[in-house]
Structure 1
Amino acid sequence: MTDEGEGAQRQGRRLTTREAADRLGVKPETVYAYVSRGLLTSRRTSGGRGSTFDPKEVEALARHGRRDQPAPGADAVSTGGAPAIGTGITLIGRDRFYYRGVDATELTRRYGYEEVAEWLWTGTMTPGIRFSAPEEALAAARRAVAALPPHSGPTDRLRVAAVAAAAADPLRFDLSETTVLATARSLIPTLVGALPLAGRAPGPRTELAQRLWPRLTDTPDTKASVRALNGALVLLIDHDLAASTLAARVAASARAHPYAVVSAGLGALEGPLHGAASGLAHRMLAEALERGSAAAVVADHLRAGRRVPGLGHRLYPGEDPRAQALFTLLEEMPRAARALEAAREVEATTARHVPLHANVDLALAVLTVSTGMPPEAGETVFAVARTAGWIAHALEEYAERPLRMRPSGRYRGPRPPQPLP
């Protein structure tokens, strides 16, 4: 720790922006970028002309901010206080990410979601593969979802559908690779088929993006819109050890069956900082289109001390490659033009003050806003897409020793012996 940081901690004094920047080795504007991304919290000075920062929070970010790459074959070692888990599924680079070593955006251009899911699971590309839902499991999932209150959210429906499908599958406890793969190929279309219809249902052998579309909106699909939705599914299929994926791997480490692994992932995904983030970006874009000014909406967010949704990602110092790839697909949709323009205005307006770029949540919001989908649609797309990634990680984890992800707690309570209460 720097002398300034140590002195501040001893005296209980907060750091100035310059002191925080010096400790982190960044420019002052980057400190505010960290605030916008939720990595730091700031407090205005009494005079209102600057911000101050908690020295302990700054020190923690300085220690753990660098994302170390685990050594090949790493089991569950520690890097900077956080666990590192060996995986051969997704590698995140500075401005690119890769599925099994292949550029994910290139896969998005050439293949459908089901094909890429099969690639993640097996390492083999099977062009034209289609997943189908077993009638008994689909019927059970639909009955369970239909029994939910009308205000239930998309993750509620998917979680209930997964539990119902599990109850209908007597082979769910068989964790052999062949059975897990068969479960995965049937579970994803079951989750999609259990969602209530908003439009006209397509045939059961169409690609998954076409089957999901009428569950999200009553707006008729087009080739371009289905390509965009398929692209979103592929781009969101996995992103290394995000919170929901870690939850899924912990469940798999305890040898939970694939349905329970997916349920664990869905539970973590529902947080507003993860799968639900695109809904915030959707509402912001919708307001910008209604008011005719994205700049005014951005100003309102900043004035209220709120983060501008859909901007910045802690793993990408520059642009989020998923957003770039999805924006390219959305440019082929004439109906998305206004929302695209608003999204770019949001990014340009914010960039005057902090160097933040659009992330995949903002691109996903352009898709949902421009096609008449509800704000929660992005969360549904995220959850359906990521299910294949969770299964891929479960397959890896089933091959490891069980219960390996059992960290030791650091007890902070009163020291024994204590009197009996």
Structure 2
Amino acid sequence: MLNLPYLILGIICGTITGLFPGIHPNNIVALSFLIIPFFGVDNYIPFLIGLVITHYFINFIPSAFLGVPDDETATSALPMHRLTLNGKGFEAIVLAGFGSYLGVIFSIIITLFLIFILNVDINSFYHSVKPLIPFILITFVIYQILTSKSIWEILVIFLSGIFGIVVLYCNNAYNITLTAIFTGMFGIPLLINNLKTYKIKSQIITFPDFNIKFLKSSFFASIVGFFRIFLPGVSGAQLNYILSKILSEKDLKNFIISQGSIILSNEVFSLLSIIFIGIGRSGVARAIQILNANIDINIAIFSILISSTIALIILINLSKYILIFIRKVNFKYLSLFFIIFCSLVIVIGSYNTYLSYHIIVYLTSICIGLLALKSQSNLSNMMNVLIFPTILYFLMG
């Protein structure tokens, strides 16, 4: 039976965490384990589902208005921020939200089709795909290098990749490690760049025209998201990066739709992978896996659908109020506030897990991000911070 009050509570918490850059659901999950004795496992799981689904919807707001992503939304943050600077921030948020909702719907359809109609043995397919992973990733790195437009882009590719090997392959990684890397690389450099802006351009509150291409891009992105089930060690951010290389970023609206779809389909399939193969592919999914609870697929799907529907409504309405607020404040001071806030999140989050080490990781990430931004390199090149160590992980066993 669906525990709706706890699902709603998770949606409320996800709305709050999604508004603040630098706060990742994985960090919240670690804290939320303290409430299990009060909630009970059966109530805690819908709470987590509501939290993570809503968080990723609402997190498009800071990604669009401030350009500060988390590790999942990194590749979509810059196009959304670009539309904001052109006065179309609300449109960017609606596109991302709509793409995310389509991603949820298509993910559920794909799941039901494969399991109940084709009777696919997902567990067997998982073991057959695994050996191909490093070679797929190597192909994309080579393609990325060959299509680079300057020596700076190649430098960013290798700097990010080597940095990723040092931090994520040669050393233990924590939840705060990824937060430090992605906030430093993709968030802080854009916030520093925003310090030159006193007021953002007046935003037009209009809904984008629907294009049939949106459905095609969303469906394709959801299929890519499905393969996360079979890719241990490959995060949603890496799949976002791969998809960004397959799809052209010239059509910003279509690109944002596809990125929204893959972000949520990644999470949906990650949650459902517990049911399929008994392994979670995200922090929230692993938390549910640790609890060793029996999850009914119907309840899981209904929880995801309800959370997504409510989160989309909140996203659209909340972004309007934030647009009104953001026009009244000094954008320079707002950016400065979030630079300090994000830095405090890193310091507090790593206080008991090698503080000085994570500060060095954070500052190094900022330097790489500034290099990419100032040299006008494609910021998605920095996703090699995950690609390089993943390739080594599979090749070295």
For the pair shown, the structure with the greater C-alpha radius of gyration is 1
Which structure's relative contact order is higher, taking Cα pairs within 8 Å and 6+ residues apart? 2
| Structure with the higher fraction of residues in helix conformation | 2
TM-score after normalising by structure 1? 0.26
Higher strand fraction: Structure 1 or Structure 2? 1
